[in-house]
């Protein structure tokens, strides 16, 4: 369905020295440098899959999405949907896709919502019969009826997001791009929107590419995750795989009054494991031990620790998806 | 043919949408038209004062000057009425990343941008232009023929696209420089020179508005042909040529610009 091959995007950035003087200098002799925002990203998405596309702020997510939606021209590499390429024939390419940017709207701001759908019908050349059926379907899935006659500027954020998703689906696209579709929404509306996305995906086999910072979206919707960082692809697999690959790392936290616990606790020799499986950090009396639970069982670590030093307070943290991702975002993938 | 029908259809849809939008804000719309009429009246007053003191301008009579002035407002007004959205491209659409919207729709981006907005204020200019031409005509001894009328209409049509072409080229600068509102403004303002007979200016300005920013072909040259019947090949032919050249260059620069478009972070 979607094929992304060696996608790369460089931006030219003007380097400015600080202050007014710097601004003047760059006005007359601008210094530019190349910034690589996306570096050699490849992945494929089969028909009907929901792909969670994640990464920390500034990782290049938006840049990738914008290349996939025909907004930005790749520096090199290419992406195709059903064999169509946006740099070759943008117009026929965008007919296959629907796009929602949570932070922007494509609705006609000053007019009743209904008018937007009327115009989009013409832009996408949807015939009258399909339009009627489509509106009925979208109405039912996204519950637009109560505000379809209100001017768009008066809609609440939740209503606007539903309206925007409906607008992106009017022409029955094969692929739906959702960039932060749940940003700023309350729990109930988030739930409604997730359910709608799931329903559309199930009923119409619409392929969905979803970027979000709300990991509940990912856990509830995504069949697969592609994670990028610093413009590179760092993980590609299911949520389960992410957990087994990175979820074995546990964290043992305790407070001790023993002097120099780091010297006393020799996990490396005691369990004869390597440095990649355990690390100890001390901050005053607080100690943090990060270890790989598949190399050493949690109970053994606990027992050895309690034997060796005097412990006041102890906890073992399990790695949930949020924790895994937080760690990956913070330190990158080793 | 199907292509052209679709263009007309899209244009109609957008125009209807714009009219509905204006009806949402009636007060604003009415004030806009009145404002423009007032600006045009003050311009006229200015002309009238000058000509009360100077009965002719380097051999141009008041009526001739009024005719050229009025003629200049017609293509300018038409461009202003239909294709004013280009200003927004230069000022904020590109800089804020709102241009993304056009790129995700299956319509040519330039067509979408041009058709999307309607600037009703421009009616003030257009009405004033037509009125000035109508007032000055009976006082001028012009020999009319069908050929001349047709050439006159063609001249207005192509002159309109001289304005549009220049705006497209200057607006496109925003794709590289993020904003180009001031560049559009600076270049566009040269059309003020073109409202008067070109012969009153020194060589620098004359050459500038004839060959570099060819606004002279939106008013003086075609109007000269209508007034005198002289040299249609140059006076109207160059209007057509300049118009086609500027539009072609505009379309070219625009599409190059889109490749350089960087959107904005979100």
Question: Into how many domains does chain B fold?
Answer: 1
Task: Give the whole-angstrom CA distance, residue A270 versus residue A86.
Answer: 59
Domains of chain A, first to last: 44-243 (3.40.50.300), 248-318 (3.30.70.120)
User: What is the sign, positive or negative, of the torsion defined by CA atoms of B216, B221, B222, B223?
Assistant: positive
Q: Is the per-residue pLDDT at A334 higher than 50?
A: no
pLDDT tens-digit series, residues B225-244? 999 988 999 999 999 999 99
Among the partner residues A71, A95, A179, nearest to B106 by beta-carbon distance: A95
A149 pLDDT higher than 70: yes
- Select the residue from A55, A72, A174 to test the B interface by mutation, using most B Cβ atoms within 10 A: A72
Contact A123 B10 (CB under 8 A): yes
Contacts of B266 in chain A (CB under 8 A): 62, 101, 103-104, 179
**pLDDT at A322 > cutoff 90:** no
How distant is the Cα of B92 from the closest Cα of chain A, in angstroms? 14
User: For residue B210, what are its two tokens?
Assistant: 């004839």
Q: Is the pLDDT of residue B266 over 70?
A: no
Q: Looking at chain B from residue 16 to 35, which residues have their Cβ under 8 Å from any Cβ of chain A?
A: 17, 20-21, 24-25
Determine the pLDDT at residue A289: 86
- C-beta atoms of A104 and B104 within 8 A: no
User: What's the confidence (pLDDT) of residue B3?
Assistant: 85
Reported as a single tens digit per residue, the pLDDT across B45-56 is 887 787 778 777
| B35–chain A nearest CA distance, Å | 23
Over 80: is that where the pLDDT of A270 sits?
Answer: yes
For residue A331, the model assigns a pLDDT of: 65
pLDDT, tens only, B96-119:
999 999 999 999 999 999 999 998
For B64-100, the pLDDT digits (tens) are 988 999 999 999 999 999 999 999 999 999 999 999 9
Q: B252 in a domain, yes or no?
A: yes
% of residues, chain A, pLDDT over 90: 45
B89-93, long-range: CB within 8 Å, 24+ apart, which pairs?
B89/B113, B89/B171, B89/B174, B89/B180, B90/B170, B90/B171, B90/B173, B90/B174, B90/B179, B90/B180, B90/B181, B90/B183, B90/B184, B91/B179, B91/B181, B92/B179, B92/B181, B93/B174
With CB atoms and an 8 Å threshold, state whether B21 touches A111: yes
> Which pLDDT score is estimated for A332?
62
Residues of A in contact with B97 (CB under 8 A): 104
> Which residues 122-151 of B are in CB contact (within 8 Å) with A?
none
Comparing A27-31, A168-172, A225-229, B170-174, the range with the smallest average pLDDT is A27-31
Q: Give contacts of A125 with chain B, Cβ < 8 Å.
A: 6, 106
CB contact under 8 A, B103 and A90: yes
Lowest mean pLDDT among A116-125, B50-59, B219-228: B50-59
pLDDT at A333: 53
Q: Do A123 and B106 touch (CB under 8 A)?
A: yes
Confidence of residue B185 (pLDDT cuts 50, 70, 90): very high
**Residues of chain B with C-beta less than 8 angstroms from the C-beta of A62:** 263, 265-266
- CB contacts, 8 Å: A118 with chain B: 13
Cβ of residue B153 closer than 8 Å to a chain A Cβ? no
Residues of A in contact with B105 (CB under 8 A): 94, 123-124
Q: What is the mean pLDDT of chain A?
A: 87
Residue B57: helix, strand or coil by DSSP? strand
Q: Whole-angstrom Cα distance, residue B29 to residue A140? A: 38
Cβ pair A106:B104 closer than 8 A: yes
Condensed to tens digits (0 to 9), the pLDDT of residues B1-50 reads: 788 898 999 999 999 998 888 888 888 888 877 887 788 788 778 877 87
Q: Are B133 and B68 in contact (CB under 8 A)?
A: no
Whether B266 sits inside 8 A of A71 (CB atoms) is no
Write down the pTM of the prediction: 0.84
Tell me which chain B residues have a C-beta less than 8 angstroms from the C-beta of A110: 21, 24-25
**Residue B117: inside a domain, yes or no?**
yes
Q: What is the mean pLDDT of chain B?
A: 91
Q: What is the pLDDT of residue B233?
A: 93
For range A327-332, the mean pLDDT: 70
**Which pLDDT does position A1 carry in this prediction?**
84
C-alpha–C-alpha distance, residues B252 and B169, integer Å = 9
Nearest to B17 among A72, A90, A111 (CB): A111
Does residue B203 carry a pLDDT above 90? yes
User: What's the whole-number mean pLDDT along residues B250-255?
Assistant: 97
CA distance A3 to chain B (A): 18
CB pairs below 8 Å between A and B: how many?
A: 74
Instruction: Tell me the three state secondary structure of residue B61.
Output: strand
Query: In this structure, is residue B266 part of a structural domain?
Result: no
3-state secondary structure labels for all residues of chain A: CEEEEEEEEEEEEEECCCHHHHHHHHHHCCEEEEEEEEEEEEEEECCCCEEEEECCCCCCHHHHHHHHCCCCCCCEEEEEECCECCCCCHHHHHCCEEEEECCCCCCCCCCEHHHHHHHHHHHCCCCHHHHHHHHHHHHHHHCCHHHCCCEHHHCCHHHHHHHHHHHHHCCCCCEEEEECCCCCCCHHHHHHHHHHHHHHHHHHCCEEEEECCCHHHHHHHCCEEEEEECCEEEEEECHHHHHHHHCCEEEEEEEECCCCHHHHCCHHHHHCCCCCCEEEEEECCEEEEEEECCCCCHHHHHHHHHHHCCEEEEEEECCCHHHHHHHHHHHCCC
pLDDT of residue A166: 95
- Summarize the confidence of residues B196-222 as an average pLDDT: 93
In this model, does residue B124 exceed pLDDT 70? Answer: yes
Instruction: Examine residue B70 and state whether it is found in any structural domain, yes or no.
Output: yes
Domain hosting B192: range is 2-260
User: Looking at residue A319, what is its pLDDT?
Assistant: 63
The pLDDT > 90 percentage for chain B reads 62
């Amino acid at each position: 369905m979607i094929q992304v091959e060696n996608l790369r995007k460089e931006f030219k950035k003007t380097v400015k020295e600080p202050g007014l003087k710097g601004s003047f200098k760059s006005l007359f002799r601008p210094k530019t440098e190349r910034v690589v925002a996306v570096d050699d990203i490849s992945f494929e998405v089969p028909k009907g899959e929901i792909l969670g596309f994640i990464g920390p702020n500034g990782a290049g997510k938006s840049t990738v999405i914008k290349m996939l939606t025909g907004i930005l021209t790749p520096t090199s590499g290419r992406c195709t949907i059903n064999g169509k390429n946006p740099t070759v024939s943008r117009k026929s390419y965008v007919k296959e896709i629907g796009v929602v940017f949570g932070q922007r709207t494509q609705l006609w701001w000053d007019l009743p919502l209904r008018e937007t759908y009327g115009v989009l019908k013409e832009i996408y050349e949807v015939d009258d019969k399909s339009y009627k059926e489509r509106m009925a379907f979208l109405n039912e899935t996204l519950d637009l009826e109560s505000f379809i006659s209100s001017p768009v500027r008066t809609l609440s954020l939740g209503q606007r997001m539903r309206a925007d998703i409906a607008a992106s689906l009017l022409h029955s696209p094969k692929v739906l791009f959702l960039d932060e579709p749940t940003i700023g929404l309350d729990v109930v509306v988030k739930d409604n929107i997730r359910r709608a996305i799931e329903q559309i995906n199930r009923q119409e086999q619409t392929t969905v590419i979803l970027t979000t910072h709300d990991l509940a979206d990912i856990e509830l919707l995504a069949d697969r995750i592609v994670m990028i960082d610093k413009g590179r692809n760092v993980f590609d697999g299911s949520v389960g795989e992410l957990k087994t690959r990175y979820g074995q790392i546990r964290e043992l936290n305790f407070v001790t009054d023993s002097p120099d616990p780091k010297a006393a606790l020799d996990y490396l020799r005691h369990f004869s494991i390597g440095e990649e499986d355990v690390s100890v950090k001390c901050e005053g009396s607080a100690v943090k031990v990060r270890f790989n639970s598949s190399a050493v069982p949690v109970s053994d670590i606990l027992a050895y620790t309690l034997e060796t030093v005097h412990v006041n307070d102890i906890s073992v943290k399990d790695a949930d998806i949020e924790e895994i991702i937080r760690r990956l975002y913070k330190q990158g993938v080793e | 043919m199907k292509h052209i029908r679709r263009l007309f259809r899209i244009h109609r849809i957008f125009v209807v949408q714009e009219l509905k939008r204006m009806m949402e804000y009636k007060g604003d719309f009415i004030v806009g038209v009145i404002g423009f009429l007032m600006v045009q009246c003050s311009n006229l007053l200015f002309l009238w004062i000058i000509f009360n003191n100077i009965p002719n301008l380097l051999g141009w009579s008041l009526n001739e000057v009024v005719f050229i002035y009025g003629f200049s407002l017609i293509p300018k007004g038409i461009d202003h009425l239909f294709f004013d959205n280009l200003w927004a491209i230069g000022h904020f659409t590109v800089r804020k990343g709102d241009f993304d919207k056009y790129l995700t729709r299956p319509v040519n981006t330039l067509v979408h941008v041009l058709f999307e907005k309607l600037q009703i204020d421009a009616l003030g200019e257009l009405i004033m232009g037509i009125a000035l031409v109508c007032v000055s005509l009976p006082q001028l001894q012009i020999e009319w023929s069908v050929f001349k009328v047709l050439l006159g209409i063609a001249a207005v049509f192509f002159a309109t696209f001289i304005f549009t072409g220049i705006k497209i080229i200057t607006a496109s600068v925003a794709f590289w420089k993020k904003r180009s509102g001031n560049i559009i403004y600076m270049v566009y303002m040269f059309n003020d020179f073109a409202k008067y007979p070109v012969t009153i200016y020194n060589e620098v300005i004359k050459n500038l508005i004839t060959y570099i920013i060819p606004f002279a072909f939106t008013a003086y040259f075609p109007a000269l042909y209508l007034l005198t019947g002289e040299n249609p090949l140059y006076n109207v032919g160059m209007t057509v040529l300049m118009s086609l050249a500027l539009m072609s260059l505009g379309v070219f620069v625009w599409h190059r610009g889109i490749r350089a478009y960087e959107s904005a972070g979100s």
